Structure 1
Amino acid sequence: MTYTASDADGHRAMALALRVGELLLGSGEATENVGGAMRRILESYGLRNVEADVNLSAITLSHVPEDGRAAATAERRVRRRQPDYDRLIAVHGLVGEITSEGLSLAETEGRLREITRRVKVYPEWAVVCSLALISASAAVLIGGGPIVAAAAFAATILGDRTGAWLGRRGVAEFFQLAVAASFGALIAVLLIWGEVPVQSSAVVVGAVIALLPGRPLVACVQDGIAGEYVTATARLTEVVFIVAAVISGISSVLAFALQLGVPISVDNVPVAPLSLETPQLLGAFGVSLTFAVALLVPPRYLAQGALGGLLIWATFVVLTWQGLPAVVATTVAAAVIGLLGTAFARRVKVPSMVFVIPAIGPLLPGSVLYKGMLEMSLGELSRGTLHLIEALSIALGIGAGVIMGAEILRAFRGRDLARRIRPASRRTRGY
């Protein structure tokens, strides 16, 4: 099956590749992998000399034949990006079948329609509950008891449903996130005001972890390391706005509570115990398991992602016991997960993020971020800024560590096999 860009079937092949690229990018795949998948599809249908330009909101394909025939360019907008790892696995599998089995255009188009129309692997209520269980598990991880976990669960449910209600009325996502984050702080303030003898601040930390953009952050760092600087900058901007929305929502509630005289103190901010005892292990397992459900990871892969959360937490704790700074320990632990998660993903032939992204949940810097926000609300701008910078450093360490693990694996693979995924890298030496 060899088509040209001037043929109707050639145009169909380009449209098909664009649709696949849209689904991959919308499901959270890195720019490099999206472009590579589209080029492999078109090469399978005989279209050579194809260039793919992928950014966060649009995908462009250009084909310039060497024999002087008219060039063709097509573009597709990516208007909705919603993580769906079940669909991501299915699309990756379809790309593999196209390149290895030579599916016809008609067969591929039919399979793609089936993928886009398939029912989600979990119902909506299960996804909403999984977000709330992320908060509850994070509250357990940092030492909160059953009351705190229940409060974090309720705060996330209320915040998510309120944000969804605002979304249906066209309110920008920034304000949806700000409102969702404010519920955690509001319930914590009510617990402190009512003098309930629990770690009230753990409610906020749990709610923050459920909202932090772990997936976009990893994709941002991956795009930057791969040299896709435009998309990396766009993803970083997205991450900054998400974090800014979370900070705005929580800080507004804290500032109002302080004006009313609620006794909020930095000393009340809980920090996850550097322990391998049962509550911390259960919390880490629960965060990763529920994170995987929220990302629509198929049931057959849930256990691997949850075990990754246990491994990354245990590695982080052991490294910290050895005296490594938190940022370094976080980066190394993330690299271990990136290495093992990518190796296992290649073994079972699914995207590595299916295992890696849920596993990083226990290390997301919720406590440090909340402490920085609280200090700034109390007027301690210098200390608050330092803690916010520390939270950012930890987050970037997670992203860099995950990609470092994958790159280590790539470096020791066979050269010919590695080049199927990425050609020899540029060596600009900074020029």
Structure 2
Amino acid sequence: MGETITDPPEEEPGDTVSGAALDLVLRVGELLLASGEVTERVNESMLSLAVAYELPRCEVSVTFTVISASVHPGRGAPPVTGSRAIRRRYPAYWRLVELHTLIQEASIGLLDLEEAHDRLRRIKRSQPPYGSPYPAWLAVVSLGLIAASSSLSMGGGPLGVGTAFVATVLADRTAALLGRRGIAEFFQLTVAAAIGATSAVLVIAAGSPGNASTIVTGAIVAMLPGRPLVASIQDGITGDLVSAGARLLEVFFIVAAIVSGLGVTVYAAVHLGVPIDVRDLPAAPVTLRPVAVLAAAGVSVAFAVSLAVPRRTLPAAALSGALIWTVYVLGRGLGAAPLLAAAIGAVIAGVLGHVLARRRHLPALPYIVPAVAPLLPGTALYRGMIQLNGGEPSQGVLTLIGGISVALALGAGVNLGGEFIRAFQRVGVGGSGRGARPAARRTRGY
């Protein structure tokens, strides 16, 4: 008697994967990364949404230019994977705040999937009640105000402050025109830096070398990459090395473009007989002046406006700018090296920024990025180019390296402030406390 052959039982289907939920996760991650958020926070936010809308066993990968999410239904069902490329970045910190509010509300069940998609669409298109808190013209003027305030903090007079403002606005509009014609951003920045340096050369030729140095310092500070610098250091600290390397390379090319524009202009001026002398550059401040402290606060506020932070964070930007400048000057007065004084000031400003961000349940970048603006090394870059073209190439290289080192210390310092807060506070925005970073125990350095 033969045995009856039966088919094996069919495997039960796996969990259902919602295409709309996966699309929301990818779109939110794309907009966060394009708006300037760091990789770790993008990763956390995407996973929070995946849990909120019940995507089973979701894995997320975030790099500088591509994000992907893969969902594994299980029980033999094929995984579902989606990805999006970030081709254009438009830093807008008000958008970061609105996106994090969306994520928080979705995580506690206040938004269904359709409502979340509708809000995301409104945020992306800047539809009421969402949108930039400032008119478009103020974003341009804010760059000029960064330059003017920086010039004032370095001791510039009315001529230096006014010229720095006009030169920076002219440089920005020229770069925008080149951008509309398809010229690469590297050459846009090179031309913009050359315009700022040319305005200083003209002032020197007119017999006012002291004002010239504050003009070019202000113009350079308005172009220096404070935002990607802070994000790159944070990505590196948290172990996202691919994104950190890409962001640092972005910073390198921006600085290289600025240095190229400065170098060409200074080289031409020296060979045309313009009396450019490194002794005319302002010395590092060692005593506090009330005007300089107010100017430093103005630099941070203007930088915050250029990043389109929410208006309610502007007082914190002013406080952070004044604080980091005060600590830096006091440190220099006590004999600390510029690198150490800048790092200490950045750590203190970073602690303040992260505390305020956690208490107000907002992302940290709108608080910590504007804080570094007053100490960005515009004078060091200008001094280095003068030395390179004035017969002191070795000293010029050392000066440029010193300026870049200060910039890196600023980025590391504000992020170190956040690590201090994380060490003593268990939870934060979006669950970003000590328990939310399992990768911190990845290898223990081995």
> Could you state the TM-score of these two structures normalised by the residue count of structure 1?
0.96
> Judging changes above 3 Å, is the alpha-carbon distance between structure 1 residues 72 and 197 closer, same or farther for their aligned structure 2 residues?
closer
Q: CA RMSD in A?
A: 1.7
Contact between 2:285 and 2:329, CA under 8 Å: does it hold in 1?
A: no
Contact between 1:5 and 1:71, CA under 8 Å: does it hold in 2?
A: no
Distance in 1 (alpha carbons) for counterparts of 2:432 and 2:267: 56
Distance in 2 (alpha carbons) for counterparts of 1:66 and 1:334: 47
Tell me the amino acid that sits aligned with residue 60 of structure 1. Answer: S
1:92-145, Cα deviation, whole Å (9 max, x unpaired):
100000101242110100111111122422122101000001000000011111
Q: Structure 2 residue aligned with 1:207, among 200, 219, 228?
A: 219
Distance in 1 (alpha carbons) for counterparts of 2:433 and 2:442: 17
Distance in 1 (alpha carbons) for counterparts of 2:424 and 2:43: 23
Aligned to 2:4: none
1:181-237, Cα deviation, whole Å (9 max, x unpaired):
111110111111111364211111101100110110111010001000000000010
Residue range with higher mean Cα deviation, 78-87 or 197-206:
197-206
Residue range with higher mean Cα deviation, 196-205 or 174-183:
196-205
Distance in 1 (alpha carbons) for counterparts of 2:65 and 2:175: 23
Distance in 2 (alpha carbons) for counterparts of 1:351 and 1:93: 10
Q: What secondary structure is seen at the aligned counterpart in 1 of 2:82?
A: strand
Tell me the amino acid that sits aligned with residue 445 of structure 2. Answer: G
1:262 aligns with 2:274: yes
Contact between 1:143 and 1:273, CA under 8 Å: does it hold in 2?
A: no
1:80 aligns with 2:88: yes
Deviation, structure 1 residue 417: 6.9
Contact between 1:6 and 1:72, CA under 8 Å: does it hold in 2?
A: no
Aligned to 2:112: 104
Deviation, structure 1 residue 283: 1.3
> Judging changes above 3 Å, is the alpha-carbon distance between structure 1 residues 81 and 421 closer, same or farther for their aligned structure 2 residues?
farther
Distance in 1 (alpha carbons) for counterparts of 2:210 and 2:342: 28
Structure 1 residues 169-318: aligned runs within 5 Å = 169-196=181-208, 198-318=210-330
Residue range with higher mean Cα deviation, 141-150 or 102-111:
102-111
Contact between 1:35 and 1:54, CA under 8 Å: does it hold in 2?
A: yes
Aligned to 1:152: 164
Tell me the amino acid that sits aligned with residue 136 of structure 2. Answer: E
Q: What secondary structure is seen at the aligned counterpart in 1 of 2:440?
A: coil
Distance in 2 (alpha carbons) for counterparts of 1:275 and 1:234: 38
Tell me the amino acid that sits aligned with residue 418 of structure 1. Answer: G
1:90 aligns with 2:90: no
Distance in 2 (alpha carbons) for counterparts of 1:396 and 1:414: 28
Tell me the amino acid that sits aligned with residue 250 of structure 2. Answer: E
Distance in 1 (alpha carbons) for counterparts of 2:443 and 2:435: 22
Aligned to 1:62: 70
> Judging changes above 3 Å, is the alpha-carbon distance between structure 1 residues 15 and 417 closer, same or farther for their aligned structure 2 residues?
closer
Q: Say which one has the larger Rg.
A: 2
Structure 1 residues 106-125: aligned runs within 5 Å = 106-118=114-126, 119-125=131-137
Tell me the amino acid that sits aligned with residue 231 of structure 1. Answer: S
Aligned to 1:393: 405
Deviation, structure 1 residue 347: 0.4
Residue range with higher mean Cα deviation, 262-271 or 183-192:
262-271
Aligned to 2:441: 426
Deviation, structure 1 residue 58: 1.1
Contact between 2:92 and 2:308, CA under 8 Å: does it hold in 1?
A: yes
Q: What secondary structure is seen at the aligned counterpart in 1 of 2:259?
A: helix
Aligned to 1:330: 342
Deviation, structure 1 residue 67: 2.4
Contact between 2:209 and 2:280, CA under 8 Å: does it hold in 1?
A: no
Deviation, structure 1 residue 414: 2.5
Q: What secondary structure is seen at the aligned counterpart in 2 of 1:199?
A: helix
Aligned to 1:351: 363
Query: How many residues get paired?
Result: 427
> Judging changes above 3 Å, is the alpha-carbon distance between structure 1 residues 137 and 87 closer, same or farther for their aligned structure 2 residues?
same
Structure 1 residues 371-386: aligned runs within 5 Å = 371-386=383-398
Q: Percent identical across equivalent pairs?
A: 47
Q: What secondary structure is seen at the aligned counterpart in 2 of 1:324?
A: coil
Distance in 1 (alpha carbons) for counterparts of 2:439 and 2:173: 47
Q: Structure 1 residue aligned with 2:50, among 42, 54, 57?
A: 42
The gaps in structure 2 that reach 5 residues or longer are 1-12
Q: What secondary structure is seen at the aligned counterpart in 2 of 1:310?
A: helix
Deviation, structure 1 residue 47: 1.4
Residue range with higher mean Cα deviation, 171-180 or 93-102:
93-102
Deviation, structure 1 residue 368: 1.1
Q: What secondary structure is seen at the aligned counterpart in 1 of 2:54?
A: coil
Tell me the amino acid that sits aligned with residue 234 of structure 1. Answer: A
Contact between 1:5 and 1:11, CA under 8 Å: does it hold in 2?
A: no
Deviation, structure 1 residue 379: 3.2
Distance in 1 (alpha carbons) for counterparts of 2:206 and 2:188: 28
Deviation, structure 1 residue 427: 4.7
Aligned to 1:17: 25
Distance in 1 (alpha carbons) for counterparts of 2:337 and 2:216: 25
Residue range with higher mean Cα deviation, 378-387 or 145-154:
378-387
1:251-273, Cα deviation, whole Å (9 max, x unpaired):
11111111111111111122342
Q: Structure 2 residue aligned with 1:31, among 30, 39, 44?
A: 39
Contact between 1:145 and 1:198, CA under 8 Å: does it hold in 2?
A: no
Deviation, structure 1 residue 179: 0.6
Distance in 1 (alpha carbons) for counterparts of 2:139 and 2:436: 33
> Could you state the TM-score of these two structures normalised by the residue count of structure 2?
0.92
Contact between 1:44 and 1:102, CA under 8 Å: does it hold in 2?
A: no
Deviation, structure 1 residue 423: 2.4
Contact between 2:422 and 2:434, CA under 8 Å: does it hold in 1?
A: no
Q: What secondary structure is seen at the aligned counterpart in 1 of 2:190?
A: helix
The gaps in structure 1 that reach 5 residues or longer are none
Distance in 2 (alpha carbons) for counterparts of 1:256 and 1:5: 70
Q: What secondary structure is seen at the aligned counterpart in 2 of 1:53?
A: strand
Distance in 2 (alpha carbons) for counterparts of 1:356 and 1:62: 32
